[in-house]
Chains A and B, each alone.
Chain A
Amino acid sequence: MTIVALIALAVGTYLMKSVGPFAAAGRELPPWLDRLATLLPAALLAALVATQTVGDGATLTVDARLAGVGAAAVAVACKAPFGVVVLAGAGVTALIRLLGWGG
């Protein structure tokens, strides 16, 4: 049963991943779909940032991550390179946990 479920998860996941490359790659998309594909990353990235910063399962919670991502936002505003932004996010979060201030 576990193996069947695992295979269902694998096959279903692959099917969803393959729709874009098989149906849309190398092909002229209708204008609205083309524009949607350029706007989707903005919506998805923003949602990932939000849920991974304050999401915890089905609850919203404020913990050390928020400070870390806040520091990362400052780094982005200062036009810091990508690696510095990531280090700022992880470093500040780790530091706050080390100090025992946030979960």
Chain B
Amino acid sequence: MRPFNRTTREVRGEAADDPVVPTGHADGHAPAPGPGDGAAPGSGSVDAPELSTRSLLVQTFPVALAVGAYGLSYGVLAVAAGLSPGLATLSSLLVLAGGSQFAFVGVLAGGGNPMAGAIGGLLLNVRYLAFGLAIARALPGGPWWRRGLDSYLIVDESVALALGSAGPESAHPDPTRWRTDVVRRFRVMGWGVVIAWISATAVGSYGGQLIGDPEVLGLDAAFPAGFLALLAPWLRSRAGKVAAVLGVVLALALTPVTPPGVPIIAAALGGVLALRVPQPAGSLAVTSPATDVAASAGPHEQERP
């Protein structure tokens, strides 16, 4: 499905250190490298099919289902931990960060101090600083309410799928299209997660024990499997590989010795350290705007909307 092939990469030589080929879109449409791949950017000859609303919804549905399965079990657990069904549902509406909510009710269920639960949950959510920064590259900004809504929609699934499905910006032939695709997918995916998470929490907390265990269906492995697929395009660049490997090493090394949440935050350091990997000449405008035009990766020459 993916058009990646080594020949293309080798032909393009050093400039190919950053990923050069967009990932296959999850809906199976071939992305747009084609004959124009490697030509000067900004020529406007992008023949990728429009990202249709229908294909967006098709991509969102299974994610929403899986999120909903966890929302159901969160609702059940929250009520078992002593929250009223109304408060459990409200917590999903206000917090909208599943891992931290599980951590919070976990502390409550163990008879712990609710504030300790909140602090543990907040520690888990520090990663959203990094997720927010990653998605903000594509976000248009705009009025405060728009930024406020976009902030609300930042969850693992929306950010990871939006950025992952589009692939790295430097690999996309048209930076403007890259940005619109990322933002649309982020918002549709985000609202899908919002609806699924909150409504499933309500059903689970009011409906009680009618639910099975999502782990029987292997849903706990569905998320890392999906994240792995999304990670793939980054592994084609040296800096991306270094960031990923350091992320894994830091996260696993710290898991046994730090409170939950810290490993993922520390993994962000992997991204920082990967900055030290030298960029291949001309791969990005940030090092040399003059060569950028010839390098097919000219996002920085474009105006941001």
A interface list, Cβ under 8 A from B: 1-10, 12-14, 16-29, 31-55, 57-60, 64-65, 68-69, 71-73, 75-76, 79-83, 85-86, 88-95, 97
Contacts and interface: CB of A to CB of B under 8 A. Distances in A.
Contact of A45 (B104, B160, B170, B272): B160
A59 to B, nearest CB: 6
A26 B142 contact: yes
Contacts of A40: 130, 133-134, 243, 268, 271
A20 B186 CA distance: 14
Contacts of B300: 34
Interface in B184-221: 215-221
A22 B229 CA distance: 29
Given A12-B122, A20-B131, A31 B286 contact: yes
Contact of A50 (B100, B117, B251): B251
Contacts of B133: 19-20, 24, 33, 36-37, 40
Contacts of A27: 141, 304
B280 interface: no
Nearest to B124: A13
A83 B26 contact: yes
Interface of B: 1-2, 4, 24, 26, 28, 59, 62, 82-83, 87, 90-91, 94-97, 100-101, 104, 108, 114-115, 117-118, 121-122, 125-137, 139-142, 144, 147-148, 150-152, 154, 156, 159-160, 163-165, 168-170, 215-232, 234-235, 239-241, 243-248, 250-252, 255-256, 259-260, 263-264, 267-272, 274-275, 279, 284, 286-287, 300, 304-305
Nearest to A52: B224
Contacts of B225: 68-69, 71-72, 85-86, 88-90
A97 to B, nearest CB: 7
Given A8-B115, A9-B121, A36 B272 contact: yes
Contacts of A91: 218
Closest 3 pairs (CB-CB, A-B): A26-B141, A89-B225, A20-B132
A76 B24 CA distance: 11
B251 A47 contact: yes
Contacts of A46: 231, 243-245, 247-248, 251, 267, 270
